[in-house]
């Protein structure tokens, strides 16, 4: 009898959970994004600074691991995303490295991951275009 009273609530909750989780979307990586900056300012140090500033301003922890390579990590609401950012004086890449609690299956990932990476990419591009 008790279950019968809660059946509509359980059904609605299950539907909301199913719709909310979904199977995810295809993971987004950015390859060969051009660096739009004046030629006189296109040097490794200016580009490095612009990328680090973009990451920290959007909630990412930025760690330079070698010349032209930064690992960016973001934590929020029990989730973690980690990407590699490789750059030259001509272009930059943002590539998936690791994650937790995004239900990544090797191809698809929760849409929030892609939102985070899209915002990071957009902010890096904006910073580089105004340096």
Contact between 59 and 124 under an 8 Å Cβ cutoff? The reply is no
Q: Residue 4: pLDDT band by 50, 70, 90 thresholds?
A: low
Query: Tokens 């609530």 appear where?
Result: 9
pLDDT digits over 8-54, tens only? 433 333 333 334 445 579 999 999 999 987 778 889 999 999 999 99
pLDDT digits over 62-92, tens only? 999 999 999 999 999 999 999 999 999 999 9
Query: Tokens 């909750």 appear where?
Result: 13
Q: Rounded to two decimals, what is the model's pTM?
A: 0.81
* All domains of the chain in start order, with CATH: 26-129 (3.30.310.80)
Strands of 21-114, DSSP E: 25-26, 30-34, 61-66, 69-76, 79-87, 91-100, 108-109
pLDDT at 23: 56
pLDDT at 5: 54
């Amino acid at each position: 009898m008790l279950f019968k009273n809660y059946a509509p609530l359980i059904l609605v909750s299950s539907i909301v959970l199913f719709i909310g989780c979904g199977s995810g979307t295809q993971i987004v990586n950015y390859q060969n994004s051009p660096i739009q900056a004046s030629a006189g300012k296109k040097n490794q140090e200016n580009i490095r600074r612009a990328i680090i500033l973009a990451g920290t301003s959007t909630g990412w922890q930025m760690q330079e691991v070698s010349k032209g390579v930064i690992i960016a990590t973001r934590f929020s609401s029990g989730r973690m995303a980690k990407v590699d950012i490789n750059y030259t004086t001509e272009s930059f890449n943002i590539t998936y490295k690791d994650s937790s609690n995004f239900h990544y299956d090797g191809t698809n990932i929760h849409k929030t991951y892609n939102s985070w990476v899209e915002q990071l990419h957009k902010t890096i591009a904006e910073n580089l275009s105004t340096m």
